[in-house]
A and B are shown apart, each in its own frame.
Chain A
Amino acid sequence: MSAALFLAQRLTAAILAVAVLAHLVLIIAAERAGLTAGAILARTHHNLVLLAFYVVFVVAAAVHAPIGLRNVLVEWAGLQGRGLDLAMAALALLLLGLGLTAALAVYAA
């Protein structure tokens, strides 16, 4: 793993540690409060704070996950080279696209 990937993975891990915790607390709080899907969407509608939070969450996950998976594939499956890098870049874009689509959909709903 290059120093740049190492740094990116550690930085995004720090973000994800907080983001995952906040996400779980949010889910549990909403569930315990007995909110319906409609009530939740009413609260997320045009909520810029939540949008910003989930955009940061999605970007961090889209960077973090492919680096970790790449490391696993290098060490456990012996894969390497440009093909692997391109596949991981594609995975990052997929995660980014799906995540941002979801975050924007909840914001705009």
Chain B
Amino acid sequence: MSSSPSGGQPLAVSISRGRGERFDEFAVPRREHQTVLDVVTEIQREQDETLCYRFACRVGMCGSCAMIVNGQPRWTCRTRVSEAVDRKGRLRLEPLRNLPVIKDLAVEMTPFFDKWRDAKGFFEPGAAPPQDFVKVAPSSPQRQAADEGIECINCGVCYAACEVVAWNPDYLGPAALNRAWTLVNDERDQGQGARLAAVTAAEGCQSCHTHMSCTELCPKALQPTYAIAGLKRLALRRAFGRKPSPDKSPDQSPDRQG
């Protein structure tokens, strides 16, 4: 199939195959408003049914279709071909970096979620949740700090974008630390001691180099870099022996809004 309903040359697509052993070349008809996920799906349905990739919702809600598109991790369902092609109008698709490849474009997400667990990225209700009831004002600085990072859907784009994870595979990574930051700012949570110990351990927030690739590329426009900066401040308070209370001054955080 080489004709393009929208006219012009078909789209040249290179796709990493197996576990990165080779790239296969495909030609796909150009279509109006075509997304990268549309292209991958069309290749699998029309040209090579052995192509392996992962997707679910197709509308930017599930975060499962992230891949490396022309060198950048992106959600393929929300990336139009027209905005992603290189100067010669080509697409090069690879699996997410920093995660084991299962096959072709599908990666194993277990290490990613293991780090969420290691960073204590889960709510700890304590022994008697009904007695620990806390009123959380939506306008409180802590609630607003948590709000800024709460919309993460675990797509792994930031993790694949992080150079520090690439250098040091034990580093917890931006997603897990961002999740920990939202919980640090949760007044109801009863597991702060263990969480702070986890995120300030050797592979925790101090390893971040503030390259900001995570913040630059997050499809949800979250700011993991600033969440990690908040954790670093807590780490310093902890090192000085001060009570590691969460950031009370969100006004001091950088201006950029998600």
A interface residue numbers (CB < 8 A to B) = 1-7, 10, 74-76
Contact = CB atoms under 8 A, between A and B. Distances in A.
Contact of B207 (A1, A7, A76): A1
A4 B238 CA distance: 10
Nearest to A2: B202
Interface in B198-257: 200-202, 204, 206-207, 232, 235-236, 238-240
B160 interface: no
Given A7-B236, A7-B239, A2 B164 contact: no
Contacts of A6: 206, 232, 235-236, 239
B238 A3 contact: yes
A1 B239 contact: no
B167 interface: yes
Interface residues of B, number: 15
A1 B164 contact: no
B235 A3 contact: yes
A2 B205 CA distance: 9
Given A1-B202, A6-B235, A6-B236, 10 more contacts: A2-B202, A3-B200, A3-B206, A3-B236, A3-B238, A3-B239, A7-B236, A10-B236, A75-B164, A76-B167
Contacts of A74: 167-168
A76 B164 CA distance: 10
Given A7-B236, A7-B239, A2 B167 contact: no
Contacts of B204: 3
Contacts of B236: 3, 6-7, 10
Q: Which 4 A-B pairs have the closest CB atoms?
A: A75-B167, A6-B206, A7-B239, A3-B200
A7 B207 CA distance: 12
Contacts of B167: 74-76
A2 B206 contact: yes
Interface in B174-207: 200-202, 204, 206-207
Nearest to A76: B167
Nearest to A5: B206
Contacts of A2: 201-202, 206
Contacts of B206: 1-3, 5-6
27 contacts: A1-B202, A1-B207, A2-B201, A2-B202, A2-B206, A3-B200, A3-B201, A3-B204, A3-B206, A3-B235, A3-B236, A3-B238, A3-B239, A4-B239, A5-B206, A6-B206, A6-B232, A6-B235, A6-B239, A7-B235, A7-B239, A7-B240, A74-B167, A74-B168, A75-B167, A75-B168, A76-B167
A5 B236 CA distance: 11
A7 B239 CA distance: 7
B210 to A, nearest CB: 12
A1 B232 CA distance: 12
A7 B205 CA distance: 12
A94 to B, nearest CB: 24
A2 B167 CA distance: 17
B243 to A, nearest CB: 15
Contacts of A10: 236
A3 B164 CA distance: 17
